[in-house]
Amino acid sequence: MKKIVRNKDSGITLIALVITVIVLLILAGISISMLSGDNGILQRATDAKTETERGEVYEQISLATASGEMDYYSNGTNRLTAYKNALLNGVEGIDRDNLTDNGSNLITGTVTTKSGKQYDFSVPVPVTDITLAEHDGTVYPLASTVLKVNSTGTTPAEKSPYVNYHYKDNEEDKTILCRVLYDAESEYGIQIISNDSTENIQLGINGDAYFIQNDDYNNAVSILNTKAGHYLNGTAIVESARSVGSDPNSTEISEGTTSMFTISGYKGSGQYKDKDDEYLTDMNQISLLGITTSTGHWLASRTYYLQGSYRMGVRISTSLNNGKELVRLYNTTSDEYIRYYAQSSGFRPVFHLKSGLKVISGNGTEKSPYELSL
């Protein structure tokens, strides 16, 4: 009788087949995840392409601004014109109809890459830093159309909107709550003032003329305006800063009046700067808008008073009274020396905003101040 020998290795069982299919599905899932996940190969390739494109746009803008600066120095071309021409000629995909300087030293525009991605950019003139952000399609209103003052408003925010001002203090991020002091329709441009004093500042030194040569009175306006400049660190939205009470038209550190008062018969006459009324412009506007403070603060302005016929006080103006006396001058017939005094008061900086800023969030109230951006 023939024996039938069966080949036990000629096929696979159903269980083995199912296991094989499951393993293949798992491997396929892993492969698909590696390809198309949030951190997958395809996404990383897309991100790398985007970063490359962004880098190319930034490099083109950077080279164009350098070319514009060379044109300005070499050929005497208007600086803004030189920068704009260089950007139009040197940046591929730039929106030629959307390149603007808003009448200031800040050029803004939009670039579309070959892949269709859009970037918004801003370039200060002369260039210090280049801002480049992906265009999200959102249209933000200009600050000039939103930051309006209205002395007849029924709420504090309607009279003078609240605005957050951000800066750096020793690399630490700081924020000052501000109010709109002047809007774009004023002759001074948009200026915002701290809602309250940011710090106390001492002017003057106690003593007399025999021991102290103190010039804080003559230099008080520039001292206060220089202090305001310390708040410019780490911000790109401000043109200049000054102390409240100084000339609203000034975009540089002002020293105020240079004339000296001469009142015959007094010691020191002709050595001290004359009084002025520059503080009135700011203080009248502050009063009109109801943005006064409960505590006093310096005004970058000078005044003096006569007491009888034997002495006079030389003062720096403040918001709550007739000023604080830094120097006391006596009649030449008096045995008293010229006296010097140290005085302390609050400080309110005023910031002159750049043109072309946009309001990106907030509703202008104290709880939700406006946030500004280039």
**Mind listing the pLDDT tens digit for each residue in 188-245?**
999 999 999 999 998 887 665 544 445 777 888 888 999 999 998 878 789 899 999 9
CA–CA separation, 82 vs 345, rounded Å?
46
Residue 48: both structure tokens together: 């790398």
Residue 19 lies in a domain: no
Same domain, 169 and 124: no
Model confidence at 180, in pLDDT bands (50, 70, 90)?
A: very high
Give the per-residue pLDDT at 32. 65
Model confidence at 134, in pLDDT bands (50, 70, 90)?
A: confident
Same domain, 181 and 266: yes
Residue 361 lies in a domain: yes
Q: Give the per-residue SS3 of the chain.
A: CCCCCCCCCCCCCHHHHHHHHHHHHHHHHHHHHHHHCCCCHHHHHHHHHHHHHHHHHHHHHHHHHHHHHHHHHHHCCCHHHHHHHHHHHHCCCECCCCCECCCCCEEEEEEECCCCCEEEEEEECCCCCCEEEECCCCCCCEHHHHCCCCCCCCCHHHHCCEEEEEEEECCEEEEEEEEEEECCCCCCCCEEEECCCCEEEEECCCEECCCCCCCHHHHHHHHHHHHHHHHHCCCCCEEEEEECCCCCCCCCCCCCCCCECCCCCECCCCCCECCCCCHHHHHHHHHHHCCCCCCCEEEEEEEEEEECCCEEEEEEEECCCCCEEEEEEEECCCCCCCEECCEEEEECEEEEECCCCEEEECCCCCCCCEEEEC
User: Does the pLDDT of residue 152 top 60, yes or no?
Assistant: yes
Torsion on CA atoms 236, 242, 247, 253, rounded to nearest 10: -90
Q: Which of 30-39, 87-96, 106-115, 204-213 bottoms out in mean pLDDT, i.e. has the lowest?
A: 204-213
CA–CA separation, 117 vs 55, rounded Å?
13
Model confidence at 155, in pLDDT bands (50, 70, 90)?
A: very high
Give the per-residue pLDDT at 210. 44
User: Does the pLDDT of residue 154 top 50, yes or no?
Assistant: yes
Residue 31 lies in a domain: no
Cα torsion 308, 309, 312, 318: sign = positive
User: Does the pLDDT of residue 45 top 50, yes or no?
Assistant: yes
User: What residues make up the domain containing 236?
Assistant: 156-373
Same domain, 125 and 162: no
User: Does the pLDDT of residue 59 top 70, yes or no?
Assistant: yes
Same domain, 249 and 104: no
Residue 13 lies in a domain: no
Residue 27 lies in a domain: no
Residue 214 lies in a domain: yes
Same domain, 364 and 241: yes
Same domain, 99 and 193: no
Burial of 331 (0-12, 13-18, 19+ CB in 10 A): middle
* Domain total of the chain: 2
pTM: 0.64
Segment 58-81 mean pLDDT: 90
- Tokens 């002002």 belong to 254
Final residue before a domain boundary, out of 103, 134, 165: 134
Final residue before a domain boundary, out of 82, 103, 134: 134
Where is pLDDT greater, at 271 or 347? 347
Tens digit of each residue's pLDDT (9 = 90 or more) over 252-293: 555 656 676 666 666 666 677 788 888 899 999 999 999 998
Backbone angles phi, psi at 47, to 5 degrees: -60, -40
Same domain, 352 and 278: yes
Same domain, 86 and 165: no
Give the per-residue pLDDT at 201. 92
Same domain, 115 and 45: yes
Give the chain's mean pLDDT: 81
Same domain, 331 and 281: yes
Residue 146 lies in a domain: no
Same domain, 125 and 244: no
Percent of the chain residues topping a pLDDT of 90 = 28
Final residue before a domain boundary, out of 134, 166, 181: 134
Residue 149 lies in a domain: no
Same domain, 124 and 182: no
